[in-house]
Structure 1
Amino acid sequence: MAIEYEVKVLDIDVPDIRHKLELLWANGESEKLMRRWVFVMNPEINEWIRLRDDWDKISVTYKKKSGQKIDETEEIEVIVEDFEKTAEILNKLDFKEKYYQENSRKNYILGDIEFSIDSWPKIPPLLEVESDSEVKVLEWLKMLWLAWKHSWNLSTVKVYDMYGLDLHSFKSLKF
Structure 2
Amino acid sequence: MANAVIEYEAKILDVAPQELARIIIDKAGSKVTLTVKEIVSDDIGGAQETEITVSDFDTTNTLLGKLGYRAKAYQENQRQSFLLDGAQLEIDSWPHIPPYLEIEASGKAEVLRVAELLGYSEDQLTGKNTTKIYADYGIDLKSITDLRFTE
TM-score between the two structures when normalised by the length of structure 2: 0.83
Post-superposition offset of 1:149: 4.9
- Contact map agreement 1:100 1:173 (CA 8 A) in 2: yes
Give the letter aligned to residue 163 of structure 1.
Answer: Y
Q: CA, structure 1 residues 58+16, in 2 after alignment: closer, same or farther (shift >3 Å)?
A: closer
Q: Which residue of 2 aligns with 1:168?
A: 142
**2:6 aligned residue:** 3
**1:28 partner letter:** D
Q: Which residue of 2 aligns with 1:120?
A: 94
Flag the structure with higher strand content. Answer: 1
- Contact 1:157 1:168 (8 Å CA) reproduced: yes
Query: Contact 1:98–1:171 at 8 Å: present in 2 too?
Result: yes
CA distance in 2, matches of 1:125, 1:58: 20
Aligned to 1:28: 26
Which 5+ residue runs of structure 2 have no aligned equivalent? Answer: none
| Secondary structure of residue in 2 paired with 1:152 | coil
Matched length: 145
- 1:151 matched to 2:108? The reply is no
Which of 100, 111, 120 is matched with 1:137 structurally?
111
Structure 2 SS opposite 1:88: helix
Q: TM-score, normalised by structure 1?
A: 0.72
Matches within 5 A, 1:87-106: 87-91=61-65, 93=68, 98-106=72-80
Kept in 2, the 8 Å contact 1:9–1:149? The answer is no
Counting aligned pairs with the same residue, the percent is 34
- Partner Cα distance (1:18, 1:85) in 2: 32
Please give the root-mean-square deviation of Cα atoms over the aligned residues, in Å: 2.2
